[in-house]
Structure 1
Amino acid sequence: MDSQDIHDPTTPQGSRVAAFFARFRFYLTWLAMLIVFAMMAVAVYKLTNEVRYDEVVDALTDTTWTDIVLAVIFTALSFVSLIYYDLNALEYIGRKLRIAPVAATAFTAYAIGNTAGFGALSGGAIRFRSYSRLGLTPEDVARVIAFVTFAFGLGLLAVSSLTALVTAPRLSAILGFDPVYVRVGAVVILLMLASLLFVGRNGRRVQIAGIRLRLPDTLTSSRQFLITAFDLAVSASALYVLLPPTTIGWPSFFAIYSTAVGLGVLSHVPAGLGVFEAVIIGALGSSISLDQLLGSLVLYRMVYHVLPLTIAIVMVVFSEARALAKHPVAGEIGNVAARLSPPLLSAFALLLGTMLIFSSVTPTPDSDLEFLKRLVPLPVVEAAHFISSLLGLALVITSRGLAQRLDGAWWVALVAGTIAFLFSFIRALALGEATFLAIFIIAMLLNGKRFTRPASLFNQVLSTPWIVTLGIILAGATTILFFVYRDVDYSNQLWWQFEFFSEAPRGLRALLGVSILSGAIAIFSLLRPAFDRPDEVTADEISKAVSIVQAQDSADANLVRMGDKHVMFSESGRSFIMYGIQGRSWIALGDPVGDKEETAEMIWRFVERARDAGGRAVLYQVSPTLLSFCADAGLRAFKLGEMALVNMSGFDLKGGRLAGLRQALNKGKRDGMEFSIVEVEDVAALMPELKAVSDSWLSHHQTREKGFSLGAFDEDYVSSMPVATIRMNEKIIAFATVFLTQTKSEASVDLMRFAPEAPRGAMDFLFVSLIEHLKNAEYQWFNLGMAPLSGMSRREVAPVWDRIGSTLFEHGERFYNFKGLRAFKSKFHPRWEPRYFAVAGGTGAVLALMDVTLLISGGVRGVVGK
């Protein structure tokens, strides 16, 4: 449906609304998140109407070190339990990994996920990066992510319901419901969970909406429930010990805490910021002094969110030290942490940038100002305060580039962090802030070699999620500003007051500067041209690409000769990616071709080029060796099928294993078929005969030429490579174009056409004869091509994509000859190697596959008309 359909007066109102939401669902989701945060910020502001900033600071200083140490211990216990989520998930899917790298991966994933929000996505990306390099397949990693996500959700429901049964009177007083309703709701949830546990006993299989699932067995479910209960209990205790003495018992607080955590997760606001606080304040505000409650919440955020992320960064710092790598276990942890240093430093930069922006709207202690007044001129203090807020914004924006390992982002973040470190002493004597910045600077210096991608930071535009994140940070800073200076009467003169002890004007100016700059960046990103189609490939570029193809092993890379795809070369000119564009999808065909050392950089460049043009990056028919690079670039992989590769050295027609092929070869010879290879220089002379066979084949099959991943009958294309032919009575009845490279590692075929009068078994005769010929020419492998949807996992714990694919393979013969194609290739007893397609984000997988289909078929007409 296009935009005109939405406004068509003949379209039913419901359909127009549904079409509108379907079209703008992505943007509406992020807008709703920003609105939810704004509402919670307003709620917190109103709930704390009688609280003053100085009172909160006093409450913070009154917290004893004993309470803080206890909170740290409970936080440590929480993260230990979170590590067991991953260990339990790995045991559930039947994969065993060493504990040390799993612990480092899980700790890092939760440290980032708790801070950035979207734990399944942000933490999931970390798991893809690490686990894929530890030997897990994309399907395995996806199952681990699904397990830990659903385990936490179901565990949270179970724990909250159990605590609600015990604390119903207390909760009913807070919520305004009758205790009976609270208990009934809790019992209903527990019965549903108990039913699920009973149905899944002993790992039973169930069918839901036509999809068969293997539920965790009783032991796994029970163990996971205990892990979740322990995690929630100790994380709740981390906040409880920071609260002042109260009449609220731990069980009641535990129920309130679980509810706040659940609502924070559902809101998808980073770290549940604002939502979690609003629930806790609304539930406990009448029982605990609000200033002390706010102080406790601030400390809890520092201990449970900031401290683990800082520890993860310190772990990265020490991973670069040679002394640590000498110990086997420490070396394993260090290696994992070092691989994850870009996303870790990205999250830390985001956190530090937010901290700098927030600190710019909070007052400096009078004692610090008295000290600074004797040493630093007022203009220097004012400038340092204002510039620090802009440096915070710079760190927030460069955090995106750090995740992509951009060298420009590394330089900007390092310079911004260093200047902010110096200014932290000039503007406020902020020792805590300086400590975090120092850790960041050291980590950046030690990991500089991991940021080597020479992409321009300033050509990067902010995506919608990053713009919303900026909006949330600015909304939070505005809320803090109004909270801190709620007793200051606004006047226009505030903007022009420059005095050592005039903190409100300083905060106003800092917030205005950040707002203007971030608004300009957001407008630039939104107004940037949405699409920039690259130029068509030139003859010189095709010639350059062909010379690269001839020097490497992949025979299918000869498809670049068609000239129907764009070509992106590496900076060195030793590698290239060929790709097509359909709709919003930029679709790369196969692995990057050329120098293997440039593979990672080529994938990053392609993903960024697609993103900068407003498109989605898609890698089609990529090999398993590319999956870890895809994970690094933020691509999610899906299995397409399996490639059939025949080992020439083991291809022997004399044994019983290939008796069927030997019979096909002998029968063809008896029928008078003659096989021959036509060299490149002789193909042009046979072009009329070859075209006649091709035209008759297209007419007989009532189909049309395809493209992209298949060659079409183009005279220049066909004459650029050898052609295998079969003749009967001096007439060509079948042919196939042959892909070769100079390395003789692999050979393959592209166009395969035969005349209607060709005897049955002609293609078997052609393939067997060609393989025998190539074997004698000392080629190592023969690529029979891919069997789509073949080899998909049929296990009940397999991803939904695999189950859909296996179902299509079994029952989709009326649409495509899936089984027949697999059976034909199986006669050659090949080695089956999986092939994947990878999509940026993963959410557009179905749309991307539709675009691939349209690209291969030449548009909708090609799909409908075969």
Structure 2
Amino acid sequence: MKTAFKKITPFISIVFFVLAIWFLDQELRQYNLGQIIEQLSEIPNSYIALSVFFSFLSYVILTGYDGLGVRYIGEDLSTGRIVRAGFIGYAFSHNIGMALVTGGSIRYRIYSSWGFSGIKVTQIVGFSALTLWLGFCTVAGLSLVFATPELPENVAIPFDSLRIVGLLLLVMVAGYLVASTLLKEELTIKNWSFSFPDLSLALKQVVLASIDWIIAAMVLYVLLPETEINFYSFIGVFLLAQIIGLFSQVPGGLGVFESVMLLYLSNFMQGPAILGTLLVYRIIYYILPLLVAVVVLAYQEYLTNKRKVRVISQKAVNWIPRVVPHVLSVSVFIGGSILLFSGSMPSEVPRMEWLQVILPLPVIEMSHFFASLVGVGLMVLARSLQRRIEGAYHFTVGLLIFGIIFTLMRGADYEEASILAFMLLVLVPCRGEFHRKTSVMTKGFSPGWVMMISLVFISAIWLGIFSYRNVAYQEDLWWQFTLLGDAPRYLRAMVGVLSFTLIISLMKLLKPKKKLVREPKEYELEKAKDILKQEPRAKPNIVQLGDKELMFSTDNNGFIMYAPESRSMVAMGDPVGPESEVEDLIWNFQDYCEEQDLWPVFYQVREDYLEWYVDLGLTLMKIGEEARVSLTDFEIEENGRRYGDLYDHHKKYRGSDYSFRVIPPEETRAHMANFHAISNRWIEAKGADELGFSQGIFNEEYLSNFPIAAIFKDGEAVAFSNIWEGANYYELSFDLLRNNPETPDEIIDYLLIEMILWGKAEGYEWFSLGMAPLSGMKDHQHSKRWSKVADWVYTYGENFYNFREVRTYREKFNPEWEPRYLAVPGGWALPGVLKDITNLISGGIKGFL
């Protein structure tokens, strides 16, 4: 299955993490937690200040990766925007890791809000990743060749010397530079295409990323006590630890990075000093930038909510709503983790003695227990915050308040309380970003979230075991209640935490799964028809074809129509129904696809709800524009020259033997034999097959639902089209548009103009001529496949003219053009998704892929 590896990867990460924790435990078995904490205070403030400076410099350079990426795709973007997107994106991904940001990254949400297509954002992110690896190969290669580090004797490698590895890395970089000089053509490997940058840009990649890796290593190096560690050897091991941590898929390489560094640094330093230094490094390079990103987002959100600056600031920060829930989700998760970690560590004796004066022991015991449960609650709610659920926001605010109270009452831990208070202050101004009414229990945990929660639990359990390894275990330890009884409190809290988590997990696991229904039942189609009575758009009438499955909103006021195709679940258009139902329908569809192990895809969506598709982590591809004629402005009889030959054709046939008539639904069956004959001859002349999904097929049951516009000659129809009607006289459109091949092509012009005039006379506002492809849709690496299918669909499926002439023809009607998009998973899934979509909308055509 396509997601088999994706599902198992988080559990592989857990295995890596457990092995790393086991190694750390073995290496530190002769030490205790107090010794490590003591080392923290021995790091000079000047070292910390220098480390913070290098951390700041590293993140500034990281944003340069995006600058090079923007230049690579030929776009122009201000430095300020590049810095914002890069800094917030890297602050987020460094802490979460690749497992949860693949496809729908923070940077994608920011760049897309500035008008970048999904493919262009993917190119920027991919180019930035390539830049990172070029820097790694360069610095690691130079380090291994000229300052080969001495590894411990218990570490075996399959080479006589690490210099061989270094030379291989440098050869790869040199090969890239040579290719950038010589290869000017696009390189295609299977479904992926890549164009090498020019040599100047390639050199900038190598130089910038090399400097960044060196600066990133300096963040840790300057924290080390004065030893005989050579920086040139150190950086090689640092890079190795970073890459092993990256491949482990553990967020931030937590534990894995520390294990590798401990293995190397143990030749020069004592274990407590190493671990204390690594802890400070984690705070400076990972946690501190994330907190700064959260503050920036909260402040910008505050500005946009102030009336005086709303108009001024809205345009500049319209990317804020797209990233706030995701960054706050991470922050709240970290806050919950801090509560669990602090609950596993010994309390400070002076604080406990002071606390005993004002609080009775039972209150202190209960506060410790409930503080840990609050930590679990925050981690669980973090997922629902990411999904913008209103209930999760209110629960989180409440738990943060309780967390602050319990943290102070369990041990006067004002440090943890300050962090939670800070998160609360950041969360409160962002109330408007959490508006979904869905229950927080409706969605289970994804494998990635299971992994993150598991890693926190494993860390908390190990931290307690490490902290109290000198306490002899006895059965009555569970029932000891004393002021300094930290070990018993830890045991009781862990049992409570695991029990609470088990209950939540069972509630989510026992939630019944929706079953896949292959065909919509009659009563479901009737419900859909009732909803259409309030739907102003005409296109959703395609649901009456009955070839798609339906997902209804909780209140049955809206629906999504969709069809499975291979590994994809393709929704036809936006959700249908009131705007209040749309967002939940989109999220429910994504959840359903996840349960069915399929990719969620939305075909031909409008601009109205793009931000919600982005929230799902989907990539947006502009596939065309819909031509819509304003009927109040359509004046072909009064201003014929404006419409060119359309006016001539209409005038020619209107006074001839041809006549136009709209047949009401109840009378259409009497003409079906005539229409069927026209349809068969049209299909035979075109050499095409019926399509379905995005447009109708000739089916009497389907066509009898609509009025049919027809051109008659000598009492017999020679051309026809069924009419889609939107509610409240808002919009008209057509579906099947077919004529007898023996009639002139101009008869189609006559039919369309008469339909438009009929709609205008009936009081409709708009007439949709359907979607036309754009040259802009070819700005991505899969355009060849898509263009072939589009050519076929528009030539034979959507009526009459060649692909390249569709837009030109519709321009004759002087329409207004509205963009239409394809919302699909990005990354490695994209080629397979495009193949599924093209197969579905083209009726399973062969030979085009």
Residue identity matched to 2:329 = S
Q: Who is 1:765 aligned against?
A: 747
Listed as ranges, the matches of 1:541-580 within 5 Å are 541-549=527-535, 552=536, 554-562=537-545, 565=548, 577-580=560-563
Listed as ranges, the matches of 1:201-216 within 5 Å are 201=181, 204-209=184-189, 212-216=193-197
Task: Look up the SS of the partner of 1:59 in the other structure.
Answer: helix
The answer to whether the Cα contact below 8 Å between 1:576 and 1:602 also exists between their aligned partners in 2 is: yes
Say yes or no: does 1:38 pair with 2:15.
no
The answer to whether the Cα contact below 8 Å between 1:406 and 1:454 also exists between their aligned partners in 2 is: yes
Q: Who is 1:480 aligned against?
A: 463
Listed as ranges, the matches of 1:138-217 within 5 Å are 138-170=118-150, 181-201=161-181, 204-209=184-189, 212-217=193-198
Shift of 1:195: 2.0
Residue identity matched to 2:271 = L
Residue identity matched to 2:751 = S
Alignment partner of 2:662 out of 644, 656, 677: 677
Say yes or no: does 1:52 pair with 2:32.
yes
Say yes or no: does 1:95 pair with 2:80.
no
Q: Who is 2:299 aligned against?
A: 318
Listed as ranges, the matches of 1:172-321 within 5 Å are 181-201=161-181, 204-209=184-189, 212-321=193-302
The whole-number CA distance in structure 2 between the counterparts of 1:320 and 1:24 is 39
The whole-number CA distance in structure 1 between the counterparts of 2:794 and 2:674 is 33
Alpha-carbon displacement from aligned partner over 1:229-259 (angstroms, at most 9, x marks no partner) = 2322222222122222111022222222122
Alpha-carbon displacement from aligned partner over 1:440-496 (angstroms, at most 9, x marks no partner) = 111222212221211100222112221122222222223222322333333333323
| Unpaired runs of at least 5, structure 2 | none
Shift of 1:222: 2.5
Shift of 1:407: 1.0
Shift of 1:732: 2.1
Alignment partner of 2:489 out of 506, 511, 514: 506
Shift of 1:840: 5.6
The answer to whether the Cα contact below 8 Å between 1:203 and 1:216 also exists between their aligned partners in 2 is: no
Task: Look up the SS of the partner of 1:710 in the other structure.
Answer: coil
The whole-number CA distance in structure 2 between the counterparts of 1:857 and 1:295 is 61
Shift of 1:214: 2.0
The answer to whether the Cα contact below 8 Å between 1:792 and 1:805 also exists between their aligned partners in 2 is: no
The answer to whether the Cα contact below 8 Å between 1:548 and 1:593 also exists between their aligned partners in 2 is: no
The whole-number CA distance in structure 1 between the counterparts of 2:777 and 2:567 is 30
Q: Who is 1:635 aligned against?
A: 618
The answer to whether the Cα contact below 8 Å between 2:365 and 2:489 also exists between their aligned partners in 1 is: yes
The answer to whether the Cα contact below 8 Å between 1:67 and 1:242 also exists between their aligned partners in 2 is: yes
Shift of 1:102: 3.5
Listed as ranges, the matches of 1:591-670 within 5 Å are 591-593=574-576, 595=578, 599-600=582-583, 602-608=585-591, 611=594, 616-640=599-623, 643=626
The whole-number CA distance in structure 2 between the counterparts of 1:548 and 1:432 is 55
**RMSD, matched Cα:** 4.0
Shift of 1:705: 5.7
The whole-number CA distance in structure 2 between the counterparts of 1:526 and 1:819 is 52
Shift of 1:631: 0.5
Greater CA drift, 134-143 or 678-687: 678-687
Q: Compared with structure 1, are the counterparts of its residues 819 and 347 closer, same or farther at alpha carbon in structure 2 (3 Å cutoff)?
A: farther
Q: Who is 2:711 aligned against?
A: 726
Alignment partner of 2:756 out of 774, 789, 806: 774
Q: Who is 1:463 aligned against?
A: 446
Alpha-carbon displacement from aligned partner over 1:515-540 (angstroms, at most 9, x marks no partner) = 23334444554554443357745465
Alignment partner of 1:451 out of 430, 434, 451: 434
The whole-number CA distance in structure 1 between the counterparts of 2:37 and 2:395 is 33
Q: Compared with structure 1, are the counterparts of its residues 255 and 441 closer, same or farther at alpha carbon in structure 2 (3 Å cutoff)?
A: same
Residue identity matched to 1:769 = L
Q: Compared with structure 1, are the counterparts of its residues 317 and 608 closer, same or farther at alpha carbon in structure 2 (3 Å cutoff)?
A: same
The answer to whether the Cα contact below 8 Å between 2:135 and 2:206 also exists between their aligned partners in 1 is: yes
| Unpaired runs of at least 5, structure 1 | 1-20
Alpha-carbon displacement from aligned partner over 1:104-146 (angstroms, at most 9, x marks no partner) = 3322211211111118926952122222222222222222221
The whole-number CA distance in structure 1 between the counterparts of 2:281 and 2:805 is 63
Shift of 1:278: 1.1
Shift of 1:784: 3.9
The whole-number CA distance in structure 1 between the counterparts of 2:698 and 2:312 is 58
Report the number of matched residues: 832
Alpha-carbon displacement from aligned partner over 1:839-862 (angstroms, at most 9, x marks no partner) = 46766556656666787689x8x9
Greater CA drift, 278-287 or 35-44: 35-44
The whole-number CA distance in structure 2 between the counterparts of 1:385 and 1:316 is 32
Greater CA drift, 648-657 or 255-264: 648-657
The whole-number CA distance in structure 2 between the counterparts of 1:740 and 1:351 is 52
Alpha-carbon displacement from aligned partner over 1:647-674 (angstroms, at most 9, x marks no partner) = 7768979999987767877998999655
Q: Who is 1:427 aligned against?
A: 410
The answer to whether the Cα contact below 8 Å between 2:152 and 2:264 also exists between their aligned partners in 1 is: no
Q: Compared with structure 1, are the counterparts of its residues 426 and 28 closer, same or farther at alpha carbon in structure 2 (3 Å cutoff)?
A: same
Residue identity matched to 2:454 = G
The answer to whether the Cα contact below 8 Å between 2:367 and 2:409 also exists between their aligned partners in 1 is: yes
Alignment partner of 2:783 out of 802, 815, 833: 802
The whole-number CA distance in structure 1 between the counterparts of 2:718 and 2:118 is 44
Alignment partner of 2:53 out of 73, 87, 97: 73
The whole-number CA distance in structure 2 between the counterparts of 1:219 and 1:295 is 42
Shift of 1:314: 2.1
Q: Compared with structure 1, are the counterparts of its residues 718 and 330 closer, same or farther at alpha carbon in structure 2 (3 Å cutoff)?
A: closer
Q: Who is 2:7 aligned against?
A: 27
Say yes or no: does 1:690 pair with 2:666.
no
The whole-number CA distance in structure 2 between the counterparts of 1:519 and 1:850 is 41
The whole-number CA distance in structure 2 between the counterparts of 1:793 and 1:465 is 33
Question: TM-score scaled to structure 2, two decimals?
Answer: 0.87
The answer to whether the Cα contact below 8 Å between 2:109 and 2:614 also exists between their aligned partners in 1 is: yes
Alpha-carbon displacement from aligned partner over 1:533-576 (angstroms, at most 9, x marks no partner) = 57745465234322222xx2x32122244455556666788765
Greater CA drift, 622-631 or 409-418: 622-631
The answer to whether the Cα contact below 8 Å between 2:738 and 2:799 also exists between their aligned partners in 1 is: no
Shift of 1:347: 0.5
Alpha-carbon displacement from aligned partner over 1:782-801 (angstroms, at most 9, x marks no partner) = 5443467x646556xx3x43
Q: Who is 1:709 aligned against?
A: 694
Residue identity matched to 1:275 = V
Residue identity matched to 2:614 = A
Q: Who is 1:3 aligned against?
A: none
The whole-number CA distance in structure 2 between the counterparts of 1:450 and 1:179 is 55
Shift of 1:405: 0.9
Alignment partner of 1:356 out of 324, 339, 351: 339
Shift of 1:183: 2.2
Q: Who is 1:382 aligned against?
A: 365
Alignment partner of 1:491 out of 467, 474, 478: 474
Residue identity matched to 1:723 = I
The whole-number CA distance in structure 2 between the counterparts of 1:178 and 1:578 is 56
The answer to whether the Cα contact below 8 Å between 1:644 and 1:833 also exists between their aligned partners in 2 is: yes
The answer to whether the Cα contact below 8 Å between 2:622 and 2:777 also exists between their aligned partners in 1 is: no
The answer to whether the Cα contact below 8 Å between 2:373 and 2:497 also exists between their aligned partners in 1 is: yes
The answer to whether the Cα contact below 8 Å between 1:37 and 1:275 also exists between their aligned partners in 2 is: yes
Residue identity matched to 1:689 = N
Q: Compared with structure 1, are the counterparts of its residues 432 and 690 closer, same or farther at alpha carbon in structure 2 (3 Å cutoff)?
A: same
Question: TM-score scaled to structure 1, two decimals?
Answer: 0.85
